[in-house]
Amino acid sequence: MDWGEKFNSNGATLVVKERGRSRVNGQTVITYNLFASGLPKDSEYTLWTKLVGSKPQAVADAFINNDGLVVNVLSDPVHSVAEDPINSNYSGVFIVVTGLQPKEEFQTIQQSGREGASTKATAAEDGSYKVLIFPFVKGQSSGKLRLKVSAKTCAVGLEVPWGQGSYAIQ
């Protein structure tokens, strides 16, 4: 089963935006928040992720506040409940490939640790391909994510270290 934008509801989007940067133990920590649009705000949702080589998994109950921020808990001042945004740090890697032909079909190969997957994908109207990958592998404290995109006229690959020892001071 593929995973991607074709599973979105019409007009619905989920985007990742940088919330801020701070220094912790001499290292830079970047926090990201999720924002949704095009979905009802009076509903409860389930946030799913898909790790390389595995099936999608539910990871959190989610709500959408009035600003579109995806949160674990909506604010309830009457009952002294504070809003709790779902933060996403370096658990996901967002990759954008450009220069493909519009609507071109191509092959991707993802490998992270001992797990991997090969899928077919299609470029967007502007010749881009965007994918959010969660590279962590159960039972491993670190590894490398490898992604290769092979189209008719070109191929590109990248490698991203993850986990223990992979974070660089900025």
113 compared with 97, residue with greater pLDDT: 97
Computed on alpha carbons and rounded to an integer, the radius of gyration of the chain in Å comes to 18
Q: Which residues belong to CATH 2.60.40 in the chain?
A: 93-163
The first and second tokens of residue 74, run together, are: 């909506």
3-state helix, strand, coil in the chain (%, to 5): 5, 55, 40
CA distances from 23 to 3, 20, 28, 31 (A): 35, 10, 5, 11
- Enumerate the β-bridge partners of residue 29: 22
pLDDT at position 50: 67
Q: Does residue 26 have a pLDDT over 80?
A: no
pLDDT at position 104: 93
Q: Does residue 90 have a pLDDT over 60?
A: no
Q: Are 123 and 149 in contact (CB under 8 A)?
A: no
Q: Are 47 and 70 in contact (CB under 8 A)?
A: yes
Note the pLDDT tens digit of each residue in 30-85: 778 888 899 998 889 888 876 655 677 777 788 899 899 888 877 777 777 777 77
pTM given for the model: 0.54
Q: Does residue 105 have a pLDDT over 60?
A: yes
The CATH T-level fold of domain 93-163 is Immunoglobulin-like (2.60.40)
Q: Does residue 1 have a pLDDT over 50?
A: no
pLDDT at position 86: 75
